[in-house]
Amino acid sequence: MSTVAEDLAWLEEHAFECTVMMNNHRSNFDTVAQLVADGEIDDEDWTDPPAKTNAITTNRLVEVIVYPCGSVSSFAIYGTDLAVVIASAREHCAGEQARWRNNGMVPLHQRPDVESAA
């Protein structure tokens, strides 16, 4: 299993942008329960179902938004454990890039002088 630092270093090389937010909902005086009830977080975006329940119960939320290299879209991963959310974001990004390669595409790298690695 990799460390948070290793996962972040991997994302730095394989994503155009990666944003980590903790408890961002509180700046709007919202609760996680309100975000879920309003449909602002899809069920499939949680690291796992217990993370959703824990976030609602504790009103704690870790959100990672990633724009993978070569993508025109982003994805978000939610949970309550920073290490788990970062690891899930890395796994999802790697899966997206593998899918592109399987379809004959090569993910672009954020720096033109560096060739995109697997």
Task: Mean pLDDT check: name the lowest of 21-30, 45-54, 93-102.
Answer: 93-102
Q: Residue 98 falls within a domain, yes or no? A: yes
111 in any annotated domain: no
pLDDT attached to residue 39: 96
In terms of phi and psi (left: phi > 0; alpha: psi -120 to 50; beta: otherwise), the region of 69 is beta
Torsion sign across C-alpha atoms 39, 36, 65, 69: negative
Q: Would residue 59 count as lying in a domain?
A: yes
User: What is the number of domains present in the chain?
Assistant: 1
CB atoms within 10 A of CB 21: 14
Inside any domain, residue 117: no
Confidence of residue 118 (pLDDT cuts 50, 70, 90): very low
> 11 in a domain, yes or no?
yes
**What is the Cα–Cα distance from 108 to 2, expressed in whole angstroms?**
24
Rounded Cα distance, 55 and 60, in Å: 5
Task: Identify the domain containing residue 79 by its residue range.
Answer: 4-102
Least Cα distance to 84 among 46, 38, 33 occurs for 46
Q: What is the pLDDT of residues 66-76, one digit of tens each?
A: 988 776 678 99
Identify whether 116 is part of a domain: no
Q: In the prediction, which pLDDT does 72 show?
A: 67
